[in-house]
Structure 1
C-alpha cells in the first residue's frame, strides 16, 4: 500500500492508501475522492480522471501513451504535469506522491 495525497482546487486534502498495482484512479474512486469522475472506468477514453502531478514526481512516472497525450489535449487546464490517473499504477516508488485536482472535469 502506498499513500497518495489528492488536493482539490479549493485546497482540501485527501490522503488515500492505494494497493500497489492499482491505478491512482481506482484508489480515488474507491475512496470517493471528489473530482475524479472516471466515466470510462479506466479505459483511457474520457479524461475525467485528469490530475496535475507535482513536478518532483514526474520523472518517476511512465511515459504518456499517445492515447493519453491525445486525451489530455482536451482536458480543462492542462499543465506540464497533467496526467490521467487511470494510466498511473501505484508502486512503492510513488508512496507519498501529491497530485492536484483541476477545478472541473469534462
Structure 2
C-alpha cells in the first residue's frame, strides 16, 4: 500500500466522520470512523473513511447513535478522486537522533 490522497469530485473539502470523548487517562481522545471500501477501490485498501455529505453533517453531529448506522457504507467510488503515490504508507523520514550533552 502506498500513500494515497482521496477527494470528492464535487466538494472542495469533505468531512470524515469522527468520534471523540474525554478520557481521565488521555484527555480528549478521538478516532476517524472507517467502513468497508467500495469494491472498485479495494486495490487501495479494504477500508475507507466514512465520508459525510454536507447535507448530512447536522445529522451526524446531533442524531442519536442508532440513527448514525445509516452512514456505515462505502462512499460511491464514482464520486471519489484517487491520487496514489509511490511512497509506501508506512515509510516516514526518520529524524536524526538529538545530541545529548
Q: TM-score range by the shorter chain?
A: under 0.3
- Which structure is larger by alpha-carbon Rg, 1 or 2? 2
TM-score (norm 2): 0.26
Structure with greater proportional strand content: 2
Q: Calculate the TM-score normalised by the size of structure 1.
A: 0.25
